[in-house]
Amino acid sequence: MTTAAAAETAPKPEPREAKDESPAKESLASRVGRYAGGGAVRAFLVIVAFLWLTPTVGLLLSSFRDPADIATTGWWKVFGDPGQLTTDTYDTLFGNEDVMGALPTTVWITVPSTLLVVVIGALAGYAFAWMDFPGRDWVFLAVVCLLVVPVQVALIPVASLYRDLNLFHTITGVVLFHTAFGLPFAIFLLRNFFAEIPRELLEAARIDGAGELRLFFRVVMPLGGPAIAALGIFQFLWVWNDMLVALVFADPGKPPLTVAVQQQTRQFDSNIELIASGAFISMIIPLVVFFAFQRQFVSGVMAGAVK
């Protein structure tokens, strides 16, 4: 992920950053295109992009419409009547102190959850991929099985556990819950990516005298870059958009964004415009974060790899 930018900042001995511009180094797909008919591929992708965009556009336009309009006509009617568009819902949400005040809580939940999942998942993934211990593959499979556990199964038992640990209604409790439920996927993904790292590299580092931790942080983590970034993004988004866990475990006085937006909804109503605008407000932050950090993030990863 985040790599177009990265490639510029971090020169690599790979010829791959060259794209269509350079015929001598053209990528796999550009050749596919050339052979299979670039026009057909392009047309296909355009159609798919259109199909994929339609629901999002519908959601976006719905967020700018009156509930009364939503109740009578489809969102595409705004193309014939742009006067329907209104920013009322956004004004309400942005002007609401509870909603805006919920942002820090969301960040305090999301960022630690993401970091913890990445670090703990990577440590375990590395151990499952490259360390010897009895029953390694079986333990690994058991962890993967945990992917199937639905969150709702855990709500009540974990709530009682948190009562005893004094973690109920705390951010720590929410973070730990998200981390635990993010781990099976993290371990599964990273173990499989780490296992693909060429053994020679690790052995070379080992011969250079690198210790276990150094090997992990200097070789494995950087090489797992794309997978770790993908994991980080997914985990970030899942936690950011979570409502259920927060509703149960977070302090009701200081809820995260999703719960705060939900508190603005009206009963007996689909609240489409609120849910839609809430979704887009909620999307802004992750977008900004990734645009802002992608350079640093990837170049940092690359620096590690080159050293």
Binders of another protein in range 128-167 (CB under 8 A): 130-134, 137, 140-141, 143-163
Residue type, 219: V
Per CB under 8 A, does 100 bind another protein? Answer: no
> What is the CB-side half-sphere exposure of residue 119 using CA atoms within 13 A?
8
Within residues 267-286, the interface with another protein by CB under 8 A covers 267-272, 275-276, 278-279, 282-283, 286
Contact with another protein (CB under 8 A): which of 62, 89, 110, 113?
62
Return all residues near 54 (Cβ < 8 A) that are at least 6 apart: none
Nearest to 126 by CA among 190, 199, 188, 211: 190
CB 258 within 8 A of CB 241: yes
Q: Look at the block and give the residue holding tokens 């609401």.
A: 96
Report the distance separating Cα 92 and Cα 305, nearest Å: 47
Contact with another protein (CB under 8 A): which of 47, 74, 91, 94?
74
Per CB under 8 A, does 181 bind another protein? Answer: yes
Report the distance separating Cα 196 and Cα 95, nearest Å: 50
Nearer of residues 86 and 192 to another protein, judged by Cβ: 192
Binding residues for another protein, rule CB under 8 A, total 163
Cβ atoms within 10 Å, residue 278: 23
Nearer of residues 108 and 197 to another protein, judged by Cβ: 197
Per CB under 8 A, does 7 bind another protein? Answer: yes
Nearer of residues 108 and 170 to another protein, judged by Cβ: 170
Nearer of residues 87 and 166 to another protein, judged by Cβ: 166
Q: Compute the C-alpha angle 36/40/42, nearest 5°.
A: 110
Per CB under 8 A, does 215 bind another protein? Answer: yes
Per CB under 8 A, does 90 bind another protein? Answer: no
Per CB under 8 A, does 94 bind another protein? Answer: no
Report the distance separating Cα 187 and Cα 144, nearest Å: 8
Contact with another protein (CB under 8 A): which of 103, 107, 172, 262?
262
CB of 64 to another protein, least distance (A): 14
